Amino acid sequence: MMKAWEKNIRKVVPYVPGEQPNKERMIKLNTNENPYPPAPGVAEALKNLDPDRLRLYPDPACTRLVDAIAKQKGLKPEQIFVGVGSDDVLAMCFMTFFNSEKPILFPDITYSFYDVWAEEFRIPYETQPLDDDFNIRKEDYYKENGGVIFPNPNAPTGVEASQEMIEDILQHNQDVIVIIDEAYVDFGARTAQPLLEKYDNLIVVQTFSKSRSMAGMRIGYAMASPELIKYLNDVKYSFNSYTMDQTALDLGVASIEDQAYFEETLHKIIQTRERVKLRLTELGFTFRDSRSNFIFASHKSCPAEELFEKLKEKDIYVRYFNKPRIHNYLRITIGTDAEMDEFLSEVENYLKESGRL
């Protein structure tokens, strides 16, 4: 029998996070983590952290971390908002800025959290189909709407939208908030940050999870006009004043201060990615050029789900989405060279074994 209190519960279709297998010997290419450790200064900051300080509340304004990010980006601290991973930042953005009766717009193939947040916050939305090459069609975003959001590069396709297209979409959407979700931008794509000077309705969101090897610390941030950042902070302070714990603040600052290590790791991942692209092509895969730390690939004769399962048997985890239009693709995170070699050799073995190569 249904209890009376049941009827006032917010029931949502829960988002299912990517598998987090935890095996001794596995190759984990399924959640776009960075294969390299965080900057050496992060280990140092961890060692220097005074445990006695943990009895005190952290700085609710996250001043040191905000200042460090602002400095690195050449922005004012009033233009930075920090949250518990970019998911927290994006959720706060949805809650703060998407309150129109008109639907917000985002691509049909995109980060799988957008429709989940829209449902959770009861925001009307309308997805806009990518073209057959997984490109955004800018004209789809000319119609009246309650806001626009898309990742650049897009997830899980890895396809980058040109700056011209982004600016065109901004020009056609000056009455709503436009969010560019740049979780993967550091791996060789162009950031929309310079457009902040011209468009005070633009929000650019980035994260420490991928390019800074700190998925485990949950640090994301938004860059926007001081006005939008103030609205975001007002909502955040009304939700949970102290979202960032002391360790996240200390370790985040240490990470952002080591630009050399950051660039070195990115360089290594990009090198590996380009090499893997060549080999995947030789093996019969097709994919759009990826500017992220993953490749979204389809094989000419081996179904994605089959390969996904076969790799899993070998403790190699990639991501498979059983969804319309992308059910024949695998999203392969770029790991170390050694990991990618093992991955490629298992793929080759299976394609040979199954008579496809």
Scan residues 158-197 and list those touching a copy of itself (CB under 8 A). 174-177
Among 154, 191, 246, 272, binds a copy of itself (CB under 8 A): 246
* CB nearer to a copy of itself: pick between 159 and 228: 228
Identified binder of a copy of itself from the candidate list 242, 274, 309, 345, rule CB under 8 A: 242
Nearer to a copy of itself, 80 or 203 (CB): 203
Torsional sign, CA 274, 295, 165, 71? negative
The yes or no reply on residue 221 touching a copy of itself (CB under 8 A) is no
- The continuous run of DSSP H or E covering 319 comes out as strand 319-320
Task: Return the range that interacts with a copy of itself (CB under 8 A); candidates 148-156, 238-246, 273-281, 288-296.
Answer: 238-246
Name the 3-class secondary structure at 202.
strand
Chosen residue from 23, 51, 133, 300 binding a copy of itself by CB under 8 A:
51
Taking CB under 8 A as the rule, does residue 98 contact a copy of itself?
yes
Restricting to residues 130-159, name those near a copy of itself by CB under 8 A: 146-147
Per rule CB under 8 A, is residue 17 in the interface with a copy of itself? Answer: yes
Q: Which of 152, 207, 233, 333 binds a copy of itself (CB under 8 A)?
A: 233
Structure token digits, residue 191: 């950031």
Among 207, 209, 292, 293, binds a copy of itself (CB under 8 A): 209
- Which of 27, 29, 58, 221 binds a copy of itself (CB under 8 A)? It is 58
Task: Give min distance, CB of 176 to a copy of itself, in A.
Answer: 5
Scan residues 25-44 and list those touching a copy of itself (CB under 8 A).
Answer: 28, 31, 33-38, 42-43
Applying CB under 8 A, does 338 fall inside the site for a copy of itself? no
Q: Exposure of 26 by Cβ count < 10 A (0-12 exposed, 13-18 middle, 19+ buried)?
A: middle
Does 9 contact a copy of itself by CB under 8 A?
yes
Q: Write the CA distances from 226 to 18, 179, 181, 222, 304, integer angstroms.
A: 34, 15, 18, 11, 45
In the region spanning residues 68 to 97, those forming contacts with a copy of itself, defined by CB under 8 A, are 84-85, 87-88, 91, 95-97
Q: Which residue lies nearer to a copy of itself by CB, 148 or 166?
A: 148
* Residue 272 contacts residue 288 (beta carbons within 8 Å): no
Q: Which residues of 233-264 are buried (b: 16+ CB within 10 A; e: fewer)?
A: beebeeeeeebbebebbbbbbbbbbbeebbee
Using CB under 8 A, which of the segments 127-135, 210-218, 288-296, 301-309 binds a copy of itself? 210-218
Bridge partners of 295?
332
Contact of 23 with 315, CB cutoff 8 Å: yes
User: Which run of H or E residues covers position 207?
Assistant: strand 202-207
Closest approach of a copy of itself to the CB of residue 71, in Å = 21
Q: Is 314 exposed, middle or buried (0-12, 13-18, 19+ CB in 10 A)?
A: middle
Nearest to 83 by CA among 100, 103, 102, 61: 61
Q: Which part of the chain contacts a copy of itself (CB under 8 A), choosing from 47-55, 66-74, 148-156, 280-288?
A: 47-55
Distance of CA 148 to the CA centre of its chain: 16
Element (DSSP H or E) covering residue 178: strand 178-181
